[in-house]
Structure 1
Amino acid sequence: MGNKEVEKRMLGKFPRAALFDLDGTLLDSAPDMLVTANRMRDERGLAAVSLAELRPHVSKGSRAMLAIAFPHLEPAQREVLVPEFLEIYRQELGRHSRLFDGVDTMLSALEDAGSLWGIVTNKPEYLARDILPQLGWETRCTVLIGGDTLAEKKPHPLPLQVAAQRIGIAVEDCVYVGDDERDIIAARAAGMPSIAALWGYRQAGEHPAEWGADALYELPHDLIEPAAWPCYSVTVGAT
């Protein structure tokens, strides 16, 4: 019988590059989103929604959050509110959010090991780029791809493929970290190892263990050790 390439998933070293989702993975932006939604509700004479109500939906984007803030409206009516939501959110950007505990330590560990890191998010690029100076990431983040940067966004693999291309590193030598199933689908389609960030935002009934990620971790601090990071290794074995 002939030989064929067998792909093995292993743990044991920092990747050449780590790519991250933003909201729910690096940044706890739910407080900014909550203020945004409640400003809109207040202007319409409605009572505030709670963080507990909104938080699980943040990673799904503005339309999902508007569905929580204005459940009585039809989808077409909420669609009209998207530009208003984004404009108010831009005013509140970074005023109430914070990094998840352990994120800065994790990023420093990657940098100390000589690894690059960047952001691939479905947030509009201008909003993602606006937050970088507030976090001191203008020079640390080596690539930024937003939801409107390209013709496709996650769960399509194109944003991850382009991010790897822009930093000059093969997709299989990168690892993508995200808190939403779309992140894992995109990584798998791109041929990139992935980590499910369990500290992020999830709706009831979502089960990250079923997403097919190469690893799942409870806290950013879990990723400060190289052994935590998955990588792909292609070996040749007899069949």
Structure 2
Amino acid sequence: MKRPAADAATPGPSFPPLVLFDLDGTLLDSAPDMLATVNRMRAARGRPALALAELRPHVSKGSRAMSAVAFPELGGQVPDALIREFLDVYAQELGRHGAPFAGVESLLAAIEASGSRWGIVTNKPEYLARQVLDALGWTRRCAVLVGGDSLPQRKPDPLPLLHAAASLGVAVAQCVYVGDDERDVQAARAAHMYCIVALWGYRLADDDPAGWGAEALAARVDALLNQAVWGMAVRGARV
């Protein structure tokens, strides 16, 4: 996985003490890795390759949703064996095609330079998420990682967000969660955690992020360098 050089951090906005991020579609543009995965599965069955535009909107919905797109004849009823195959193939393609979204390295450096910490709460299996962090050199920088199988519940349940905050001894009111999917907002709202929608991520055509109930919407990664987008969260107010 190509790791872009982080820009030198300069004094900028204040950040909440802990910024938690979703991974796929928020920090990482992993759609190319996912496309390589499903196209290997299709090729093994004599099927033609899918185009990136066909798969990309479904990436944040997870392996089952992507498998359903790859094999529409299943009518959405994806067997567990196919999910295991997806994960096995993806583990081989992980990091070969995708990369962090433009501006992510600069954002993470700015958060660190401000004295705040950042972490990841994802529905991706933890072992795969750790492979991503290792490939990007983020393992020591990421203060906390919670995967989709780390706990008994995953997003949209609030438990992963609550666990991430508690594991670092940070009050929920001092955290912000940034994600690109409606489940991210549902989890944050249930946890009473300030939430920002990453509009640069993966969405279906009929998704309406403005109606999800997040406190803020960010059109680009560099919008998160603007003090205003963090709103009351920077001052620790619970919303």
Higher-strand-fraction structure: 1
1:95 corresponds in structure 2 to: 96
> Relative contact order, CA 8 A, sep 6+: which one is greater?
1
Give the deviation of 1:199 after TM superposition: 0.2
The structure 1 residue matched to 2:237, chosen from 224, 233, 238, is 233
For residues 44-70 of structure 1, the C-alpha deviation after alignment (integer angstroms, 9 at most, x for no partner) is: 000001100000000000010011100
Q: Is the 8 A contact 1:66 1:78 kept in 2?
A: no
Distance in 1 between residues matched to 2:54 and 2:72, nearest whole Å: 12
2:7 corresponds in structure 1 to: none
2:56 corresponds in structure 1 to: 55
1:178 corresponds in structure 2 to: 179
Q: Is the 8 A contact 1:40 1:85 kept in 2?
A: yes
* 1:15 aligned partner, one-letter code: P
Unaligned runs of at least 5 residues, structure 2: 1-12
Q: Is the 8 A contact 1:209 1:216 kept in 2?
A: yes
Give the deviation of 1:168 after TM superposition: 1.1
Distance in 2 between residues matched to 1:80 and 1:131, nearest whole Å: 24
* 2:35 aligned partner, one-letter code: L
**TM-score normalised by length of structure 2:** 0.91
2:135 corresponds in structure 1 to: 134
Distance in 2 between residues matched to 1:220 and 1:113, nearest whole Å: 17
Distance in 2 between residues matched to 1:215 and 1:188, nearest whole Å: 13
For residues 166-204 of structure 1, the C-alpha deviation after alignment (integer angstroms, 9 at most, x for no partner) is: 111001100000000100110011011000000000001
Count of residues paired in the alignment = 224
Q: Is the 8 A contact 1:14 1:227 kept in 2?
A: no
1:158 corresponds in structure 2 to: 159
Q: Is the 8 A contact 1:123 1:147 kept in 2?
A: yes
Local SS of the residue matching 2:237: strand
Identity of aligned residues (%): 60
Give the deviation of 1:26 after TM superposition: 0.1
Unaligned runs of at least 5 residues, structure 1: 1-11
Give the deviation of 1:80 after TM superposition: 2.4
Give the deviation of 1:228 after TM superposition: 2.2
